Amino acid sequence: MKAIINTEVWLDPTDAEAHASNGTLVLACLPALTTVSSVWQTGSMTPSEVLAVSLASTHSPNSAERKFNQCLEACQNRCNDIHAVVAQALLERAKEA
């Protein structure tokens, strides 16, 4: 989970930090399949701003779109990091068996 608090993007906020934030974003992905399976955004960004992010290639993104892109990228990077750690642990466990 990411939270936007004032102008900062926070990784893995506490409940209190998430409630104090301007908005939060939860992303679920399947890194081995390079697939994002779910994106859940709440807070001060409107649905049209969220949807505009995927169409932003034709214009210069506004501040909310840049924040959303930062959140998406950070969430996806952490998802990939976790996948790498879990995959390595599974490989090591399989070698022991």
Q: Which residues contact 23 (CB under 8 A, 6 or more apart)?
A: 3, 4, 41, 42, 43, 44, 45, 67
23, 43 contact by CB (below 8 A)? yes
Assess whether pLDDT exceeds 50 at residue 58. Answer: no
Going from N- to C-terminal start, the domains of the chain cover 2-96
The mean pLDDT of 47-69, rounded to a whole number, is 52
The mean pLDDT of 39-53, rounded to a whole number, is 63
Assess whether pLDDT exceeds 70 at residue 10. Answer: yes
Residue bearing the bigger pLDDT, 93 or 9: 93
Write down the pTM of the prediction: 0.61
Pairing of strands 2-5, 35-43: unpaired
Q: How confident is the model at residue 81 (pLDDT cuts 50, 70, 90)?
A: very high
